[in-house]
Structure 1
Amino acid sequence: MKKNLEAAGFTTSLQEFEFGGKKSWNLIADWPRGGRTGKVLMVGAHLDSVETSPGINDNGSSVAAILETALTVSAKNVTPAQHLRFGFWGTEEETYIGSTHYVNTLPAAELSKITAYLNFDMIGSPNPGYFVYDQSPEVARHFDRYFTTKGIPTEPATALNGRSDHEPFLAKGVAVGGIFTGSAEIKTPEQAAKWGGTAGEAMDKCYHQACDTPANIDRRALDVNSDAVAAMVWKLGVRG
């Protein structure tokens, strides 16, 4: 992935850190064009999975979506209003260690440039819900508007546990946003009525299990949510 991003024109760096006696890495990719205002839109997803799972929905789904968005930025050779930065995090499953390391080691002057951090974690659950992070309403409204155009109602992600790599950014006062299709939460009859799927079953029955393979992906959810990733990068970063 690092080579793919570099071949597409991104400037990449590996940030090494240690947790539990083991080394891990964050991969950071910066688009070198645009961003002359000194403002940064950052987009991220975690690379790791638990040892018991291949991690295709959690979190290959989101990594694929933001990688494809980054490659589209390159293919269109955009000059964005804000600087675009993509973060691929290590060791999220141990309570977002990689993203916390990044935030805690970023100089305050650089952190202050980040206008928003958009996090994507599990966006193709097989019995999906459509949840929007609502900790920063000014960011959430853009996601809600996108889903409204698709005829898909949303619910706030804070109704769930939903903790992920946006938390360290939020703790430092950065506006955050993102989407989530659910994990072990049971879909209610009301949710099934508005989203489809099966009430009384988990939104991802293979959450943290060996069956989180490519067969565990709802392709419509992945398609809609991947488009949402790109739409928000263009709305908030490219057009600014």
Structure 2
Amino acid sequence: MNHDIKFKLIKADLALSDYVESFWMLHNGCSEAKEIIVLPDGRMDLTLSQSLIQPFQIVCSGLETQPQPVILQANTLIFAISFKLLAVEYLLGKSISNLLNDAEHLPAKFWDFDPSDLLDFELFCKKASEKIHSLLPQQIDSRKQKLFQLLYQSHGDLSVSYIAEQTHWSQRQIHRYFTENFGISLKKYCDILRFRASFDPIKKGQLFPEQHFADQSHFIKHIKRFSGVSPKQLKLNQNDRFIQFLVSPSE
């Protein structure tokens, strides 16, 4: 591992768990830029960042459906919030369908963040948590809450028809909800969650499917579809390219 690249992740507390997956920090302490690859993980990120050549900025990233090469400039520091999709409507109050495989800059004082928030990761997590707590809705659509609980508990290993039946929401309505708000179909989102669920087993050297996949060939094809490489190459993670493999939520 390149010890100049530091990646730290902290899980959100239980009270925020319907809306926030985690907080994370990425620091490139190298004197040179580094290319990394961001893999689809089914989350929407809000990032605060700064480097020697880039001033402080706040960016909202939409869902990824393919591996995204990113140039991490020298001495770049990033603090981020990884949101679950329920946060899009209830915390941000807007659609991110236009941000599929893309991102947008937010105002410099969004949620009262400023450059000083990049000085201490734990204080950033505390401030962000307090802000999110203040925005939590008193009521939410029970169908949407149930839908996302099913998705995350199963890691996407459910049929659309089963989800519709359990949420008492038609498949057509669910499809419209996903495409209008997130720019992606529910089926595609389930595929991404199944891909994300393979991270930990692959890191541990389990290069065969234990669940979520019909057979070995299906598993390999699925991993290549979202990462661009085979499970074996993903496990090797040469030059720490796949940044999400440096640490995972279970650690």
The bucket for the TM-score relative to the shorter chain is under 0.3
TM-score normalized by structure 1? Answer: 0.27
Structure with greater helix share of residues: 2
TM-score normalized by structure 2? Answer: 0.27
| Structure possessing the higher radius of gyration over alpha carbons | 2
